[in-house]
Structure 1
Amino acid sequence: MATHLSHERHPHQVQVHTIGQPHGRFDQHGGENKSLYYNQQGPSKSKVLAVMALLPVGGALLGLAGITLAGTMIGLAVATPLFIIFSPILVPAVLAIGLAVAGFLTSGTFGLTGLSSLSFLVNSLRQLTGTVPGEVDSAKRRLQDLVDYTGQKTKDVGQTIQDKAHEIGPEGQVHGGAKEGRGART
């Protein structure tokens, strides 16, 4: 059965196309394929001009980088003995300046943190009073009504007491003939 399957297989055709070698290529009809010549174009004019313009700029910048490196190395070679001689003065000075800068930065950070927290608090209060003015007005009205009610009741009780005091009179007697007093016995 395996031999039977091997006889039924068809051979596959593989075509290999190479790019960049148009010579000797022919199309299906035996003629030379001209499209390969036209597909291989060089860089455009704008790319060539860009490279020509940027090449001197890049070279000049590279040269400046080399000069800067050489100047830095010479300056370091000259300054190193000075740093060694003056290190007992420079090290404490650098430490003092560093601590002062750290103190100023810390102070500024704390100040900004405090201002931002106060700003947050003020904005929160503004939003709270801005969204609930109806409830605040309602509470004010209820409190005013309560004050008015309490005032009216107090006035009524005071009037009642005054009326009772006029009825009793200065000697403790009720006007109208009946005797009522605190110490009176019946």
Structure 2
Amino acid sequence: MAQNQPRSDVQQRFQQPPHQERQQLSRQVAKTTTAVTLGGSLMVLSGLTLAGTVIALVLATPLLVIFSPVLVPATITIFLILAGFVTSGGCGATASFLFYWMYKYATGKHPVGADQLDRAREKISHAAYDVKDRAEHAARAGQQGT
């Protein structure tokens, strides 16, 4: 091996001064300790949450069974009322937007989608004109044939 050749990462890692090696080891120990502490704490909290949920469910089940003839219809009624309010609000907002769009279109301010509406109107008018011409042509042909 030539002496001017650069050392590889592995060689550099094993030939580090002792104080750097101790610093890396202490960092690794600190990281591992932190990870184990946090992981263990989260596992304990998870277990406590599961136990609390099971206990609450065991205690609440008899109450839910006793009050279900009242709670179920009340829940359905509240759901229907909220659904009605949300639907009403959505329809009102849509109507407001449509009136605003029509106002802008009528005043010539060219709102979004006006080009598509104009093209559709032209296609419909051309189709109606073609149908009218065909009907007139058929009527003339029918008159000439009799």
TM-score (ref. length: structure 1): 0.42
Partner deviation per Cα, 1:17-45 (whole Å, 9 max, x = no partner): xxxxxxxxxx7x9xxxx858427779x67
The residue aligned with 2:85 is 104
* Matching residue's letter, 1:85: I
Equivalent in 127, 148, 157 of residue 109 of structure 2: 127
The residue aligned with 1:118 is 99
SS in 1 for 2:109: helix
Matches within 5 A, 1:132-171: none
* Matching residue's letter, 1:38: Q
Equivalent in 61, 68, 79 of residue 87 of structure 1: 68
Give the deviation of 1:65 after TM superposition. Answer: 1.8
RMSD: 3.2
Residues 36, 110 of structure 1: CA spacing in aligned structure 2 closer, same or farther, 3 A cutoff?
A: closer
Give the deviation of 1:50 after TM superposition. Answer: 4.4
Give the deviation of 1:52 after TM superposition. Answer: 3.7
Is 2:53 the partner of 1:72?
Answer: yes
Residues 50, 96 of structure 1: CA spacing in aligned structure 2 closer, same or farther, 3 A cutoff?
A: same
* Matching residue's letter, 1:127: K
Give the deviation of 1:46 after TM superposition. Answer: 10
Between the aligned partners of 1:127 and 1:90, the Cα distance in structure 2 is 54
Between the aligned partners of 1:46 and 1:99, the Cα distance in structure 2 is 62
- Aligned residues: percent identity? 38
Q: Which structure: greater helix fraction?
A: 2
Residues 79, 122 of structure 1: CA spacing in aligned structure 2 closer, same or farther, 3 A cutoff?
A: same
Give the deviation of 1:103 after TM superposition. Answer: 0.9
Between the aligned partners of 2:27 and 2:101, the Cα distance in structure 1 is 56
Q: Provide structure 1 residue ranges, at least 5 long, that are not aligned to the other structure.
A: 1-26, 129-186
Residue correspondences, number? 96
Q: Provide structure 2 residue ranges, at least 5 long, that are not aligned to the other structure.
A: 15-20, 111-146
Larger Rg computed on CA atoms? 1
